[in-house]
Chain A
């Protein structure tokens, strides 16, 4: 895909939600329900992005890897993130486990 188009589209998608409320529909307030639903989107996006690489490292969508570096690394992240509440620390811990396991398993 063309890099310039890609960057422009991301820029537009990032800017519109930030800017539009400042200039349009000045008298409208979003309903409480709408606010709630908007608040659910980030978690849903994160789940949609976090799950496939962990459960299908091959990306073909029909093979669940029961135990391998990907799943093991992810489990470590879940545990460390849950206990430490620290983003980088948990991502780092899982990544270290991932690479150690890969090296050990020789893949």
Chain B
């Protein structure tokens, strides 16, 4: 608690006419901003927890992977790669690629955290997820989130992380109670999740082209060792997107990705 005492400071002429918000206010504000997301993450994380044992993981390994990834997508992808017996290199590279959009979030956010101690920065970074970024970025831009910014982030991420991991643990335990999930065809729910996520993220023709090229490449490269075909397919898909932009000649890229709404240019 390094910055608890701002109530004594004269307030800047801003949108906070009554009083300065304390760190605790910000923490609760951040947590409250996440409440609408609970409706979707509770069933998702319960299901996600059950997918771990279906991939041949123990309940503890399932929870460990979920806690390490702190991303539904990265978690499901990790399960799927374990199920396929992928190598550690493929697992590492694929998780890294999935997290690359976080590079952009963190780059946009860092100017707001320059005076925050490193340890807290690391905590903010660890808890960073799409929902929190998009909830906070507008408030940072319009100046309503102007003090104790890291407490806002920590409030949001501790609620989301706590709920996600609790439900993942419950799902994993329930999933591991059912013996031999895998041979009952329970690998399909995972594939189902990917197909659904794919359909929902293909929002333009360019993204469709990327998905098609990636999908064809992964089939063609299925014989590569260590499941490296996935990495090759991702590179091919991203290259397709780059080529599309080049051929289109102008920069209308980005309309695609989740990253767009906050771009500065």
| Chain B 224-243 near chain A by CB (<8 Å), digits 1 or 0 | 00000110011111101110
A19 is contacted by which of B95, B125, B197 (Cβ under 8 Å)? Answer: B125
A45 cross-chain contacts in B, Cβ below 8 A:
73, 77, 94, 97-98, 214, 230, 234
A interface, by DSSP: helix, strand, loop or mixed?
helix
Instruction: Please tell me which one of the listed residues A23, A40, A61, A77 contacts residue B192 in the complex, with CB atoms under 8 A apart.
Output: A77
CB-nearest residue of chain B relative to A96? B192
Q: How far is the CB of B47 from chain A (nearest CB, A)?
A: 7
**What string of 1s and 0s marks CB contacts (under 8 Å) between B104-128 and chain A?**
1111011001000010011011101
CB of A23 within 8 A of CB of B198, answer no
Minimum C-beta distance from A98 to chain B (A): 5
| A28–chain B nearest beta-carbon distance, Å | 8
Partner of B104, one of A38, A69, A78, A99: A38
Q: B219 — which chain A residues lie within 8 A by C-beta?
A: 51-52, 55-56, 61
CB proximity to A under 8 Å, residues B231-264: 233-238, 240-242, 245, 251, 253-254, 256-260, 263
Q: Is the CB of B253 within 8 A of A54?
A: no
B: interface residue count bin? 35 or more
Q: Which residues of A lie under 8 Å from residue B263 when comparing CB positions? A: 35
Per-residue CB proximity of A63-101 to B under 8 Å, as 1/0? 000000110011001100110010110111011001100
Check A43 against B202 for contact (C-beta < 8 Å): yes
Q: Tell me the bound Cα distance from A54 to B87 in angstroms.
A: 22
Q: Which residues of chain A have C-beta atoms less than 8 A from B240's C-beta?
A: 40
Contacts of B94 in A (CB 8 A): 45
- In the bound complex, do residue A16 and residue B96 qualify as a contact, i.e. CB atoms below 8 Å apart? yes
Question: Contact partner of A9 among B58, B91, B103, B214, CB < 8 A?
Answer: B91
| A21 to B, closest residue via Cβ | B106
Chain B residues with Cβ below 8 Å from A32 are: 251, 253-254, 265
Which B positions have Cβ atoms within 8 angstroms of A? 40, 43-44, 47, 57-58, 61, 64-65, 67-71, 73-74, 77-78, 80, 82, 84, 87-88, 91-107, 109-110, 113, 118, 121-122, 124-126, 128, 185, 187-202, 207, 210-219, 222-223, 229-230, 233-238, 240-242, 245, 251, 253-254, 256-260, 263, 265
A residues whose Cβ falls under 8 Å from a Cβ of B:
1, 3, 5-23, 26, 29-30, 32-33, 35-56, 59-62, 69-70, 73-74, 77-78, 81-82, 85, 87-88, 90-92, 94-95, 98-99, 102
